[in-house]
Amino acid sequence: MRSDGIAFVWPASGVAAGGLLMTAVQWRKTLLGGIFVASVLVNLNAGSSLAVTLWFSLANIVEAYLVCRIASGRDGASGSLNLPRWVARLALGAVAGSIASGTIASLAKIGSGQALEFFLSWTSTVLLGLLVVTPLVLAAGDRKMRRVAQITDGRVLLRSALFLATIAVSVAAFAQQSAPLLYLPLAMAMLMTYFLGPFGAASAVFIAALLGSLFTAKGMGSVHLVEGGPQTRALYFQVYLLVMLASTMPVATLLARSRAAARELRRNNAFLSAAEAKAHVGHWRLQLEPESLYWSDEVFAIHGMEKGRSPDLALALEAYHPADRERVSSSIKGSLASREPFSFEARIQRPDGTIRHVESTGEPELENGEVVAMFGVILDITERWQVLEELRRARNLARKQAREATKLADTDQLTGIASRRKFMERLSEEIARAEEGGGKLSLIMFDVDHFKAFNDSHGHAFGDLVLRMVAREAADSTRGQDLIGRIGGEEFAIIMPGAGMDTGTLAAERIRQRVANLRIEDDSGVAQNVSISLGIGEWTPGADEVWLMQAADNALYEAKRAGRNCLRQAA
């Protein structure tokens, strides 16, 4: 890319630097050696002396090395044109590499009087080669960059149209000089940047550099409208390319970064939506001034509503069950006033009438010490609530069954009075209480006289009826603190806390008389008389339940031997 022997851009520098950056770290020294050999061969073939060839070749590998070293950093890893900091390091490396390269190459011209002019020419052409071509090489070799370009425009036709338009405006700007149209390539470069990112920006600048150099070298184009000689026009064109680069590459990098962040945000939002749907949890945000409410998709799903525009706060509160609405409103207002987080459980009534149980938590957002919004999450806990409700019902049922089982175990099923187990348990308690407090305690034992004869003569059903009637009469004759129990067959016993022998004797006699007055009809309608024999014992300090029952039982058998239908006191 030369005009009158003056180079505008040196593409080989950009190709070498780009290739080095894309090469694995362990192979870069080998590639540098290859670049050096190729440079030597090219320069010798061009007729340069061996000394000049060596200086120029050394300059070529130094510029590539410095670009790669500065851009890659300590770890040597190549970056991305999507990263602004890496692009800045690449530009810095290009400046450092071109200056170092120009300095080394100028050593071949020392003593000729052209060293400074040669340095400036070499440095500027190498710098443009590095800045124009290196990004293009990197973008063309970056698969991610190519995918970004495809995603950005979406159609091959649009990309083709952009490239053709860029070529067309570059030809229009550089193939004629009747009208200064140098702004057109810059405008197309911005369009390429917008649609294709760094790859588009690098391509647009390269097309402008290529066509501009070709037409300018033939004496055509707007560059020749600039007053001055070839050096001045070359400098003008180089500055023009630098301006185009400075106008497009930073924008392209920032756009690529922004679009990558947008894609990442969309991907994260998709993951969040999927996670919310799986967990039945949604998020919401209430902006206070002006008031606006945002619902995530899952919040709509929890409310049983179609996705769309979020309702206002008043309508959102209306979705709660009337019995919960005031509590929900108070919870939110209290959080806004106290600036503290809130949490509540409530019911939502869907448009179809179904009820969902939810748990909502949130907290105010502060800016400069003022509450500006509130953010929260809402969790559908209907299934959890149903499980807990089932557990509550199961627990209540278990308790009821336990009470019934205990009652069954404590109650004699035939007579409805205390069972032997319950009776013995209570007797032990009352003896312990009397032992501790020094109170009185009496025990009455009785059984039905000639009960076996009732069973043999009238059947077991009549015998059961006799037992029930006797138990009823005895129970009706006891005090509230007394306990009557069936301790076996036709045998019964009564615990009388706080009663001595005299009180117990009166109670026993009352029971005997009530039973003696019973008339129980058998199956033939004949009334049968029933009687009982009773024995009563009084607890003495140090005695246990076995002793007391034995004492009352001995008195009972004394009553039997005395002719039945009577009572006897234990000795």
Q: Measured between alpha carbons, how far is 532 from 450 in angstroms, rounded to an integer?
A: 9
Active site residue 490: yes
Q: Which domains does the chain have, with CATH numbers?
A: 2-259 (no CATH), 280-385 (3.30.450.20), 411-569 (3.30.70.270)
Task: Decide: 463 and 500 in contact? Cβ < 8 Å.
Answer: no
Q: CB burial class (10 A; 0-12, 13-18, 19+) of residue 10?
A: buried
What sign does the dihedral 553-510-571-437 (CA atoms) show? positive
Name the catalytic one among 298, 473, 490, 545.
Answer: 490
Task: Decide: 563 and 449 in contact? Cβ < 8 Å.
Answer: no
Q: CB burial class (10 A; 0-12, 13-18, 19+) of residue 135?
A: buried
Sequential DSSP letters for 174-194: HS--SS--THHHHHHHHHHHH
Per-residue pLDDT for the chain (571 aa), expressed as one digit of tens each? 444 445 677 888 888 888 888 888 888 888 889 988 988 898 888 888 888 889 888 988 898 888 888 888 777 677 777 788 888 888 898 899 889 988 888 888 777 677 788 888 888 888 888 888 888 888 777 655 455 445 444 567 888 888 899 899 888 888 887 778 888 888 888 988 888 888 888 888 888 888 888 887 787 776 666 676 677 777 777 788 888 888 888 888 888 788 878 888 788 777 767 766 777 788 888 898 888 888 888 888 989 888 888 888 888 888 899 999 999 889 988 998 898 998 999 999 998 989 999 999 989 998 888 889 999 999 898 888 888 888 888 888 888 887 777 777 788 889 999 999 999 999 999 999 999 988 899 999 999 999 888 888 888 888 999 999 999 999 999 999 999 999 988 999 999 999 999 999 999 999 999 999 999 888 788 888 999 999 999 999 989 999 999 999 999 999 999 999 999 999 7
The pTM (predicted TM-score) of the whole model is 0.52
Q: Measured between alpha carbons, how far is 102 from 110 in angstroms, rounded to an integer?
A: 12
Task: Decide: 349 and 321 in contact? Cβ < 8 Å.
Answer: yes
Helix (H/G/I), strand (E/B), else coil: 369: coil
